[in-house]
């Protein structure tokens, strides 16, 4: 491995670690404010800002590392192992969708559009896990409610990330 490649690897690893830590901080902060948690099971998802940022600036491997790393550590810290399953599936599907859509649409889709699409895919991942764990297809009836909540959350997080000056790496 060349020195330049080694430096890039270390830099990417440090960026991922910082984003994971920031995501956990946002997760804890959001969960400590009752206003951000909806009675319907949805929430704003401020921690998803770091995953969206990684999708927009660092590419698929780093975005998966940041998103899944944040979900696993936050789930372990909160003592909720099923949250890791729900969040992991949602994150995996949403990151794949956002990066894929970003590659397909390129500059024709904004960070807000990617965020809304990612939020919808995140909810699909959660519902699929619920279907597997509960053994009932009835959970799919909840998908429209989650999708509506997710669209507003995706709009909010996409708007926030749009206001941040992103490096041009896409």
- Is residue 167 a part of any domain in this protein? no
- What residues make up the domain containing 58? 3-162
Which CATH number fits the domain that encloses residue 56? 1.10.1760.20
Rg of the chain's alpha carbons, rounded to an integer? Answer: 16
- Residue 99, C-beta contacts closer than 8 angstroms, at least 6 positions apart: 55, 59, 60, 63
Distance CA 120, CA 56 (A): 17
Task: Tally the domains of the chain.
Answer: 1
Average pLDDT across each block of 10 residues of the chain; the chain has 170 residues. List them in order: 75 95 92 66 82 93 96 91 94 96 89 94 95 94 90 92 70
Residue 30 pLDDT: 84
In a domain, 98, yes or no: yes
pTM, rounded to two decimals: 0.88
| pLDDT at residue 170, as a whole number | 45
In a domain, 168, yes or no: no
In a domain, residue 157? The reply is yes
- Residue 169, domain member (yes or no): no
């Amino acid at each position: 491995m060349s020195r330049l490649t080694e430096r890039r690897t270390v830099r990417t690893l440090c960026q991922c670690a910082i984003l994971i830590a920031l995501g956990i901080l946002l997760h804890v902060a959001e969960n400590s404010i009752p206003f951000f948690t909806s009675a319907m099971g949805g929430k704003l998802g401020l921690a998803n800002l770091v995953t969206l940022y990684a999708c927009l600036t660092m590419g698929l491997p780093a975005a998966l590392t940041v998103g899944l790393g944040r979900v696993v550590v936050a789930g372990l810290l909160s003592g909720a192992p099923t949250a890791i399953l729900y969040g992991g599936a949602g994150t995996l599907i949403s990151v794949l969708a956002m990066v894929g859509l970003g590659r397909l649409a390129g500059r024709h889709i904004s960070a807000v559009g990617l965020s809304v699409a990612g939020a919808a895919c995140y909810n699909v991942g959660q519902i699929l896990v619920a279907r597997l764990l509960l053994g009932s297809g009835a959970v799919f009836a909840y998908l429209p409610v989650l999708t509506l909540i997710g669209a507003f959350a995706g709009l909010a997080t996409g708007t926030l990330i749009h206001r941040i000056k992103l490096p041009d790496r896409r």
